[in-house]
Structure 1
Amino acid sequence: MYIVYIIQSETSFKYYTGQTNDLADRLYRHNSGFSLSTKSGMPWCLIYQVELSTRSEAMILENKIKKRGAKRYLDNLDILT
């Protein structure tokens, strides 16, 4: 099982979209500075996740969200107000 997730920086309010098969470990790495792309925005808060059965499906959704933009994607789902 793979998870596509969106996290938001509590300091810069920027979004980051990714996919993983171990969400707890991935969030730990984002918030511990092990991920270069999210190191400057720590701490990060999980705001969206969806489980998919294959990595292929997860990568397709991740790319769709990244092309559209996480905020716009969440707005279309009525997750943000």
Structure 2
Amino acid sequence: MHFVYILRSLKFHRYYIGSSRDVDERLSMHNYGSTRSTKPYRPWVIIYTESFPTKSAAEKREWFLKHPLGWLEKKRIIAQYDRNGDVG
């Protein structure tokens, strides 16, 4: 199983989209400072995950959410988290 995830910084109003086979391990790497792009905005929490049967499918979804075509979908997911405090 592969996953697409959205992280939210607890100190800054920033979000990060990524994909991984092990979301918990990847979150630990982000919070430890192993990822250059997320290091300044630590700590992070997972606000959203989606599972996919293949790495390729997860990467396609990640690409979609990171690009203009997926902007509204990403905004919807984040707005749901902001409203409820938990998306899943």
CA RMSD of aligned residues (A): 1.8
Q: Which has the higher helix share?
A: 2
Find the aligned partners of 1:75 and 1:44 in 2 and give their Cα distance.
Answer: 14
TM-score (norm 2): 0.81
Task: Extract unaligned runs of 5+ from structure 1.
Answer: none
TM-score (norm 1): 0.88
Deviation at 1:72, TM superposition (A): 1.2
Higher RCO by CA contacts (8 Å cutoff, separation 6 or greater): 1
Task: Extract unaligned runs of 5+ from structure 2.
Answer: 84-88
Matches within 5 A, 1:1-81: 1-67=1-67, 68-69=70-71, 71-74=74-77, 78-81=80-83
Number of matched residues?
Answer: 80
Q: Which stretches of structure 1, 4 residues or longer, exceed 2 Å deviation after superposition?
A: 68-71, 78-81
Q: Deviations over 1:23-53 (max 9, x none)?
A: 1110000000011010000000100001100
